[in-house]
Amino acid sequence: MNKICNNCNTENEEKFAFCKNCGNPLDEQPKHHSNNYKNQSNPVLNDIEGIPINDFYTFVGKNQHKIIPKFSNMHITRSKISWCWPAAILGLLFGFMGTAIWLFYRKMYKYGLISLCIAVLSLGITSTITYSDSSELIKDITGSSYEFLIEEPDLIGFLEEITGTADNFSAKPSVVTANFIKDISDYAAAIIYGIFGMYLYKKHSIKKITEYMQLNTNGEYYNYGLAAMGSTSIGMAVLMAIIWTVINNIFVCIPFFSLIF
């Protein structure tokens, strides 16, 4: 069943969430626009700080039905707190790099770069703490590998020696300290962005929509342009993951470089 846009009356295929002509959201959401929000658990207003609620729906795009009610609730209560599960889970799994991926996915590049810098700083601190012991570990493994390849091959003995070397490395004070710092950093990322991530997104949305409205773009492609400015970006999230992989590998390889040079 095709959908008729209530803004320009264009007929759209059922798979479309936005009008192919003007970009207006096609799914009717009258239940979200009621002013009688006092008895609602997830209230949604007609506007937030003077910006029509439909503009927020268009700008946010994916998962708008979950995010806009949180925007409205924060506006009503004048609160900066609203739990953000994606940021919290990514922060817990990957620390500040995980939150940077979510921020870039939602096109909050300034906050994403800040989170990336914190992630790199944390990685630099932990790598510096374990540098000496990591170099010794590489020397021991390299020596064992040389003996295994050049001298009499003893696979079981070689594996036992490597395992013992790795266990001794993980028990060293510097490694324990580095792991503790990493855990604290990961928990901090999950808590901070879990609590304030949605507020940052609300603040970002208001800023960007306001800037867009000041362009006086009131033609039939207004919603299309607004959706393009907001929504999400899988490409930027993947790019951040690639950048982090490269940075992480560089820090891992530094002890190897010290042996070569």
- Total domains in the chain come to 2
Shared domain check, 188 and 98: yes
Residue 16 CA to its chain's centroid (Å):
26
Going 149 to 152 to 154 to 157, the CA torsion angle's sign is negative
Q: Which domain holds residue 108?
A: 16-127+175-260
Q: How far is Cα 176 from Cα 188, in angstroms, rounded to an integer?
A: 18
Q: One digit per residue, pLDDT tens: the chain, 261 residues?
A: 677 777 666 777 776 776 666 666 776 543 343 333 444 445 557 889 999 999 999 999 999 999 999 999 999 999 999 999 999 999 999 999 999 999 999 999 999 999 999 999 999 999 888 877 766 655 655 555 545 455 555 555 545 555 665 566 677 888 889 999 999 999 999 999 999 999 999 999 999 999 998 886 666 688 888 999 999 999 999 999 999 999 999 988 876 665 555
Shared domain check, 154 and 142: yes
Residue 9 lies inside a defined structural domain of this protein: no
Q: At what angle do helices 155-170 and 131-150 cross, to 10 degrees?
A: 180
User: Are 25 and 57 spatial neighbours (Cβ–Cβ below 8 Å)?
Assistant: yes
Residues 6+ apart with CB under 8 A from 53: 32, 33, 44, 45, 46, 47, 68, 72
Residue 10 lies inside a defined structural domain of this protein: no
Identify residue 189 by its one-letter amino acid code: A
Residue 145 lies inside a defined structural domain of this protein: yes
Shared domain check, 207 and 102: yes
Residue 8 lies inside a defined structural domain of this protein: no
Q: What is the pTM of this model?
A: 0.74
